[in-house]
Structure 1
């Protein structure tokens, strides 16, 4: 078996849990990231280097949204760069598990880029609408609102996970904290509007302004509702730690 094939086999056996993962991340992004992680392993790249490649691809997509007039080819370019960046974002973690070279600094860098893209992509949409469309100014409130929702969503996920880790480290013998996530395919499909990967695909319609505005606005509204529901769930899960 080739080195690449051996790496692919080991990666399939070392996947992280699918608990709480939306459909795109679970069924598309991780499989896309797996051969990238194997190729990076063969090439001798570190997880941090893959994270940097992910950041470069995502930044390219964000800049293309903000700077290029929306045409069919620029929309395809945007979607391709964002999808590539997201797949590499999965690959860095898979490579870290494969090589055992994960680090706190690498995890911080990964979250740093995640936070940047969560905000940057929506600011780029605002600039795109302002520069290249004749939408009324009130529509600019949609990407502004989506920016706030995405930022708070990211904090909610990372903050709850951090508090669970602190609790496990500071409480000897504490049982694993419940995450509240689910593993079924139906649940994965139900939460897919909150998946960044779906947003990447929606950018294929960027050049079709009415279609993109409708899909993007719908995603913004659904994500706002999911944030409210998730906020209640995160609060309850963290509050339960104090009773354990």
Structure 2
């Protein structure tokens, strides 16, 4: 690669678009910037966007495996949090690398979303298994929290993808349209950020503290989904009225 790391980083910084209207703060101001650094490194290393997606998957699923296999100690939580955070950052890096290389493809986008779907469907179920195996919460109603969180996360992801699909059929900008986000909105949405789910595992060795923080994130996610679902339905219904 003829472009230096610094040059690639500058190109990525200059090519950044406004963040999506629904993008929370960690994703915009932390994860994207870490991802930019990783994308510049990957560009210099000659990696492809699909290889970067694979690195993201390895980090994420290694974290989930360790969560279920290792005892609930503080160091376990830190290790899981680091791996999940890296997986999330690499997930941001693959799209940025594709833009830098001018090599975006439908197959690459499919792979990225497919890995995201597996991650979202698996993460909270892994928490459920780990709570059952490694904490005093085994067999208690608290195990319903990760089960409910899993439903919320999967339905939210599906709803966003479905919105984008239906809107694209009408030539309307997607749910993640760029340029409409604000700092205040991003801050308000912080509890719904996947990055916060990654970081909450630093509390894993303190079961009570982890459960309180994790449950708060689950409630925030459920509230967001309830409000978003109403808005999404009205947006799609408006497209029907325009067509009629």
TM-score, length-normalised on structure 2? Answer: 0.93
Tell me which residue corresponds to 2:167.
164
Tell me which residue corresponds to 1:49.
51
Q: Does the 8 A contact of 2:64 with 2:126 survive in 1?
A: yes
Q: CA deviation at 1:164?
A: 1.5
Q: Does the 8 A contact of 1:178 with 1:237 survive in 2?
A: no
Q: CA–CA distance in 1 between the matches of 2:207 and 2:26?
A: 24
Q: Does the 8 A contact of 2:23 with 2:181 survive in 1?
A: yes
Tell me which residue corresponds to 1:197.
195
1:118 aligned to which of 117, 120, 124: 120
2:211 aligned to which of 210, 213, 237: 213
Q: Is residue 149 from structure 1 mapped to residue 152 from structure 2 by the alignment?
A: yes
Q: How does 1:174-189 map to 2 (within 5 A)?
A: 176=173, 182-189=180-187
Tell me which residue corresponds to 1:104.
106
Tell me which residue corresponds to 2:239.
241
Q: CA deviation at 1:117?
A: 1.1
Residue 19 of structure 2: SS of its match in structure 1? coil
1:121-158 CA distances to partner (integer Å, 9 max, x unpaired)?
Answer: 10111011101111252111111111100000000111
State the Cα RMSD in Å.
1.7
Tell me which residue corresponds to 1:59.
61
Residue 119 of structure 1: SS of its match in structure 2? helix
Q: Does the 8 A contact of 1:180 with 1:237 survive in 2?
A: no
Q: CA deviation at 1:221?
A: 1.3
Q: Is residue 7 from structure 1 mapped to residue 5 from structure 2 by the alignment?
A: no
Residue 13 of structure 1: SS of its match in structure 2? helix
Q: In structure 2, list runs of 5 or more residues that go unmatched.
A: none
Q: CA deviation at 1:197?
A: 0.3
1:35-85 CA distances to partner (integer Å, 9 max, x unpaired)?
Answer: 100011111111011001000000011111111111111111100000000
Deviates more, 1:196-205 or 1:17-26: 17-26
Q: CA deviation at 1:240?
A: 2.4
Q: In structure 1, list runs of 5 or more residues that go unmatched.
A: 169-174
Tell me which residue corresponds to 1:172.
none
Q: CA deviation at 1:177?
A: 6.2
Q: CA deviation at 1:116?
A: 1.1
Deviates more, 1:16-25 or 1:186-195: 16-25
Tell me which residue corresponds to 2:37.
35
1:93-141 CA distances to partner (integer Å, 9 max, x unpaired)?
Answer: 0001111101111111111111111121101110111011112521111
Tell me which residue corresponds to 1:23.
25
Q: CA–CA distance in 2 between the matches of 1:164 and 1:67?
A: 42
1:204-225 CA distances to partner (integer Å, 9 max, x unpaired)?
Answer: 0011000001011111111111
